[in-house]
Structure 1
Amino acid sequence: MDAATKKAQQLIDDNAVMVFSKSYCPYCNNTKRLLESFDAKYVHYELNQESDGDEVQAALAKLTGQRTVPNIFINKQHIGGNSDLEAVVKNGKDGKKIEELLKEAGAL
């Protein structure tokens, strides 16, 4: 496992809600606003502001099959991007509402 993959995995493992994003991305900013609307505690890693951002994004693509941002994880579970998070808010995931997922993760 290379350094970028280890770093990405460590960030996912260490944080209840992990958002890999880019500071200028409107979808990323929407994701952060949406999480904040639930008062969720989350960590975001701005790929465009980190020296290893390109490598971490490539590692995430290998881990998840998703190259785009935001790349969202709740309780170490890959949620997907902004539209996927919006779908979880609207419809839930595996029978659980977003609040339940955030509580289980310890983010509320």
Structure 2
Amino acid sequence: MDDQMSFLPQPNLANIEVSAVLAALADPVRLTIVRELNRVGESTCAALDVPVNASTVSHHLHALREAGVVTTRVAGRTRPSRLRVDDLQKRFPGLLPAILDATPAQDPNS
């Protein structure tokens, strides 16, 4: 059994740009995914409780990974993702907690 985990490509900590993180989190579905990952710790796209199908979640996780917000490991045929909490805290202290603690906007139609 191989003890070394494989991860999908992601930016190095020094190369994560705050503009890329904020742009990725500006999408409401991505923000929902980030909040859900914060709640559950690690999950595959199919197991996340978000209001879009798994292929759409996969697309959004890819964008979040490219921005440096999540890391995704290869586990057999699955690709569980988790927030890069410690990395983001080192790079942008307080940013992720501020975003996660922000009250979601009210739906004007409700």
Category of TM-score, reference length = shorter chain? 0.3 to 0.5
- What's the TM-score, normalizing by structure 1? 0.34
- Bigger radius of gyration: 2
Q: Which has the higher strand share?
A: 1
Q: Which has the higher helix share?
A: 1
